[in-house]
């Protein structure tokens, strides 16, 4: 098409729309392409979002009617064996008061649509139902815009921002970044289970607009490096479980089998009892950590969010890294346009901003965490199993003396090759990988 | 030539369920789409406008969200879109709806004379197929329902020839413009909009008209103008299983039992068969 733009953005997820809001606010002519029928149409189910990062893009997001499902007041961590599990949780009144909206659940389909609408109100042009299938390059080989799947669908832009998520046919085709390797992504399945709001309030012991998250580890991933999560939405629960893609391949396991088993676990079954499954999706997550991050910008382009493999696996933070990187990309673009230099050099402000922020600092801090998890499969098999056995023994009242029980447990541990020394080493290595 | 297309935003009926207790449609979480027959009507209107260098105005009566259905139609190539939205319009049945739309078409016609009005043959949520004919009656236009093909249009003599689908076949009829056409699905195939057209549809301003703008009488619009009463909405009872004639016991008995039951229900078929048999014997 004849009309040209300052910035073309591929993907209307949290990364792309954050950038679009900032750019449009600065009066920069921006076009966003989204392959879904509407933004969010491809991003089903619920997710946790962080108010801080959203406020950085839209300070008045509450007044603008952000479709929040529940305000998270409690976080739980479960470590499960096949038949039981440990649970710790932390609830604080500050998250219902002063720090309300620190973390919230949203339905992505609703949230993305609302978020894109805010960008549109600020002046960005959000074009749905349109797939970017290729890139335009100028005579110097710079990215000079995009090609969409529609007739007369070429659009020239001074800068192109890739915010197209982790699974990118566009990257595969044009090579703007390398495809992640199987061990650098995890495959998650997610189910949304409908329950009346009152039932959720009762089962999680929260008020109407308040919610809980649970991160679940242990035997549930059957020896694969993985994790499950449970979030409360207003009148549904999001349950997801995922594991390293290479592990799925090597263990010949199917993700849907994991989620079906998880749903029958005694910690989970009563929470979801009577619920109706609304939707079911499978999705990749970038888990390669710091060392998997591709070149983040080049002549005429930048990459943000999942597409740039920015993900904090320890804290399950993807959306806020997406929003923060989208915002920083926009700021760098604004600078570059001002200087009229959209080359790799002109866009370098993006790299500096990321390096200077929690985005890359956190990822760097945890750079060895992925490897640690991947190499210690006992965390997802023998260890939670033995931990379960131990608790079982200690809690069973059967006339055996406690001292005798302790002895039995230690024996078990040793039989399972988990001497105290090995446990200490595991703890130490784990700590080192995230310190 | 100026063509007006009337469209409706409907819940995607593939997803609609009925709440068994309240007997109302569960609309939460159900996507709204432009009625598929209406998209066909708009595409046909645009094709005619392209052929006879005319223009297309799309209108809909609905809540503010119906704007997105209008944008879908702009992307197909309509030049102008008008949303008829007013609290007073809420709760309208087909009588009040056709009145409101006809009032709007009158106003559009005053500014730029209308030769054709296109509607979908029916909306997939109510399946009434009454609004198109209602508009024709109110405007005093000829009506061509269930149109599968526009065979010819002669602006000089102001006549249109269409093929319409009727039970067991089709019928070719001709009549004078202005006229109302209601579209079958095979009248036209809605196009995949080009990028510039899509971009235009996203940017274009959509006019909003209320009851006063179309000089509608308060007692004829919305709930007040709607004599239709919905007694009950219900899920049809599940059909029971078929009858079984056990051939393991006595085959002859089973077959006789089946024939008795079958022809007991299909008296006419039996009579026809007997009559034929009579012929054969003669
Ligand atoms: C099961 C699961 C649970 C998660 N839970 C959380 C959580 O609780 N908290 C959290 O912070 N993060 C979570 N994440 C991660 C989070 O979803 C992602 O990090 C985040 O969505 C990244 O945003 P994004 O904008 O980079 O990409 P996406 O959200 O993937 O958006 C990319 C968009 O681009 C579009 N697109 C792609 N290619 C094209 C193309 N060629 N043309 C046009 N459009 C295109 C897509 O349709 C999509 O809308 C979870 C992920 C999964 C899979």
- Point out the ligand 1 atom lying closest to the alpha carbon of residue A50: 11
Assess B275–A contact: CB distance below 8 Å, yes or no: no
Residue A35 covered by a domain: yes
Share of residues in chain A with pLDDT > 70 (%) = 100
Q: Give CA–CA dist B282/B274, Å, rounded.
A: 12
Domain membership of residue B257 as a residue range? 240-282
**Which chain B residues are within 8 Å of A151, Cβ to Cβ?**
192, 194-195
User: What pLDDT sits at residue B271?
Assistant: 85
For B142-191, write each residue's pLDDT tens digit.
999 999 999 999 989 999 999 999 989 999 999 999 999 999 999 999 99
A153 and A45 in a single domain? The answer is yes
Question: Is there a contact between B196 and A126 if contact means CB atoms under 8 Å apart?
Answer: no
ipTM entry = 0.89
- Point out the ligand 1 atom lying closest to the alpha carbon of residue A188: 1
User: What pLDDT sits at residue A314?
Assistant: 80
Assess B278–A contact: CB distance below 8 Å, yes or no: no
| Domain-terminating residue out of A356, A381, A400 | A356
Q: How many structural domains compose chain B?
A: 2
A interface with B, Cβ–Cβ below 8 Å: 1-3, 31, 37, 125-127, 129-130, 148, 150-153, 155, 278
| Domain-terminating residue out of A326, A356, A386 | A356
Averaged pLDDT of chain B: 90
Q: Give CA–CA dist B111/B178, Å, rounded.
A: 15
User: What pLDDT sits at residue A135?
Assistant: 98
Assess B205–A contact: CB distance below 8 Å, yes or no: no
Contact A33, A57 (CB under 8 A): no
**How far does residue A108's CA lie from ligand 1's centre (Å)?**
9
Question: Is there a contact between A152 and B194 if contact means CB atoms under 8 Å apart?
Answer: yes
Question: Is there a contact between A150 and B199 if contact means CB atoms under 8 Å apart?
Answer: no
Q: Is the pLDDT reported for residue B231 higher than 90?
A: no
Task: Name the pTM for this structure.
Answer: 0.89
A307 and A320 in a single domain? The answer is yes
3-state secondary structure chain A: CCCCEEEEEECCCHHHHHHHHHHHHCCCCEEEECCCCCCCCCCCCEEEEEHHHHHHHCCCCCCCCCCEEEEEEEEEEEEECCCCEEEEEEECHHHCCCCCCCEEEEEHHHHHHHHHHHHHHHCCEEECCCCEEEEEECCCCCEEEEEECCCCCEEEEEEEEECCCCCCHHHHHHCCCCCCCHHHEEEEEEEEEECCHHHHHHHHCCCCCEEEEEEEEEHHHCCCCEEEEEEECCCEEEEEEEEEHHHHHHHCCCHHHHHHHHHCCCCCHHHHCCCEEEEEEEEEEECCCHHHCCCCEECCEEECHHHHCCCECCCCECHHHHHHHHHHHHHHHHHHHHHCCCCCCCCCHHHHHHHHCHHHHHHHHCCCHHHHHHHCHHHHCHHHHHHHHHHHHHHCCCCCCHHHHHHHHHHHHHHCCCCHHHHHHHHHHHHHHHC
Domain membership of residue A348 as a residue range? 3-62+101-177+291-356
- Cα A17 to Cα A176, A290, A293, A427: the distances in Å are 20, 24, 21, 40
A382 and A422 in a single domain? The answer is yes
> pLDDT tens digits, chain A, 435 residues: what are they?
999 999 999 999 999 999 999 999 999 999 999 999 999 987 766 789 999 999 999 999 999 999 999 999 999 999 999 999 999 999 999 999 999 999 999 999 899 999 999 999 999 999 999 999 999 999 999 999 999 999 999 999 999 999 999 999 999 999 999 999 999 999 999 999 999 999 999 999 999 899 999 999 999 999 999 999 999 999 999 999 999 999 999 999 999 999 999 999 999 999 999 999 988 889 999 999 999 999 999 999 999 999 999 998 887 789 999 999 999 999 999 999 999 999 999 999 999 999 999 999 999 999 998 889 889 999 999 899 999 989 998 899 888 888 898 888 888 888 878 888 888 888 888 888 888
Residue A344 covered by a domain: yes
Instruction: Closest CB to B202: pick one of A125, A150, A152.
Output: A125
Quickly count: other Cβ atoms within 10 Å of residue B171's Cβ.
12
Q: Which of A47, A174, A286, A310 to mutate to test the pocket of ligand 1 (most atoms within 8 A of CB)?
A: A47
Question: The domain spanning residue A348 has which CATH number?
Answer: 3.50.50.60
Question: Is there a contact between A150 and B202 if contact means CB atoms under 8 Å apart?
Answer: no
A49 and A145 in a single domain? The answer is yes
């Amino acid at each position: 098409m004849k009309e040209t733009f300052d910035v073309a953005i591929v993907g209307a997820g949290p990364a792309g729309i954050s950038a679009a809001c900032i750019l449009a606010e600065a009066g920069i002519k921006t076009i966003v392409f989204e392959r879904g029928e509407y933004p969010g149409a491809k991003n089903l189910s619920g997710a946790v979002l962080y108010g801080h990062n959203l406020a950085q893009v839209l300070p008045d997001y509450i007044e603008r009617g952000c479709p929040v499902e529940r305000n998270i007041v409690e976080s739980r961590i479960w470590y499960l064996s096949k038949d039981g599990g440990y649970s710790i949780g932390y609830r604080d009144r500050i998250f219902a008061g002063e720090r309300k909206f620190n973390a919230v659940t949203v339905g992505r389909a609703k949230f993305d649509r609302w978020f894109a609408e805010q960008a549109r109100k600020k002046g960005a042009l959000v074009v749905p139902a349109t797939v970017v299938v290729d890139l335009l390059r100028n005579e110097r080989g710079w990215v000079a815009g995009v090609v969409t799947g529609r007739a007369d669908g070429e659009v020239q832009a001074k800068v192109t921002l890739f915010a197209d998520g982790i699974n990118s046919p566009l990257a595969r085709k044009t090579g703007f970044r390398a495809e992640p390797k199987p061990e650098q992504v995890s495959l998650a399945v997610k189910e949304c289970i409908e329950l009346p709001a009152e039932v959720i309030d009762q089962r999680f012991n929260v008020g109407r607009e308040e919610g809980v998250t649970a991160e679940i580890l242990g035997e549930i991933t059957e020896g694969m490096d993985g994790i499950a999560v449970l979030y409360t939405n207003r009148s549904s629960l999001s349950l997801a479980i995922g594991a390293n893609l290479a592990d799925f391949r090597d263990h010949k396991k199917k993700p849907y089998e994991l989620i079906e088993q998880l749903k029958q676990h005694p910690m989970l079954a009563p929470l979801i009892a009577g619920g109706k499954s609304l939707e079911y999706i499978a999705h990749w997550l970038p888990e390669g950590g710091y060392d998997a991050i591709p070149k983040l910008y080049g002549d005429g382009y930048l990459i943000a969010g999942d597409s740039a493999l920015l993900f904090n696996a320890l804290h399950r933070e993807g959306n806020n890294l997406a929003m923060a990187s989208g915002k920083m990309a926009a700021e760098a673009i604004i600078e570059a346009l001002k200087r009229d230099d959209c080359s790799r050099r002109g866009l370098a402000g993006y790299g500096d901003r990321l390096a200077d922020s929690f985005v890359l600092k956190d990822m760097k801090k945890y750079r060895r965490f992925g490897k640690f998890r991947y190499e210690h499969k006992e965390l997802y098999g023998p260890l939670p199993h033995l931990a379960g056995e131990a608790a079982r023994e200690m809690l069973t009242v059967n006339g055996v003396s406690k001292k005798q029980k302790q002895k039995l447990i230690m024996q078990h541990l040793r039989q399972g090759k988990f001497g105290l020394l090995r446990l200490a080493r595991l703890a130490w290595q784990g700590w080192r990988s995230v310190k | 030539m100026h063509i007006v297309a009337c469209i409706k935003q409907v819940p995607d009926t593939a997803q609609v369920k009925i709440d068994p207790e309240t007997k109302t449609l569960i609309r939460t979480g159900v996507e709204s789409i432009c009625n598929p027959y209406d998209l066909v009507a708009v595409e046909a209107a645009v094709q005619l406008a392209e052929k006879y260098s005319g223009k297309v105005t799309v209108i809909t009566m609905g809540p503010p969200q119906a704007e997105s259905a209008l944008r879908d139609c702009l992307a197909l190539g309509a030049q102008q879109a008008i949303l008829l939205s007013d609290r007073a319009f809420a709760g309208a049945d087909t009588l009040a709806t056709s009145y409101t739309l006809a009032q709007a078409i009158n106003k559009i016609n005053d500014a730029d004379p209308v030769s054709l009005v296109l509607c979908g043959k029916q909306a997939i949520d109510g399946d009434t197929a009454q609004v198109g004919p209602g508009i024709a009656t109110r405007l005093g236009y000829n009506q061509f329902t269930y149109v599968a093909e526009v065979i010819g249009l002669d602006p000089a003599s102001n006549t249109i020839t269409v093929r319409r689908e009727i039970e067991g076949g089709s019928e070719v009829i001709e009549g004078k413009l202005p006229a109302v056409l209601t579209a079958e699905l095979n009248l036209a195939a809605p196009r995949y909009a080009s990028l510039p057209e899509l971009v235009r549809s996203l940017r274009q301003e959509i006019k909003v008209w209320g009851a006063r703008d179309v000089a509608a009488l308060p007692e004829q619009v919305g709930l007040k103008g709607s004599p239709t009463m919905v007694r009950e909405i219900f899920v049809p009872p599940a059909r029971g299983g078929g009858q079984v004639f056990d051939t393991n016991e006595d085959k002859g008995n089973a077959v006789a039992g089946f024939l008795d039951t079958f022809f007991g229900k299909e008296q006419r078929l039996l009579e026809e068969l007997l009559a034929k048999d009579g012929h054969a014997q003669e």
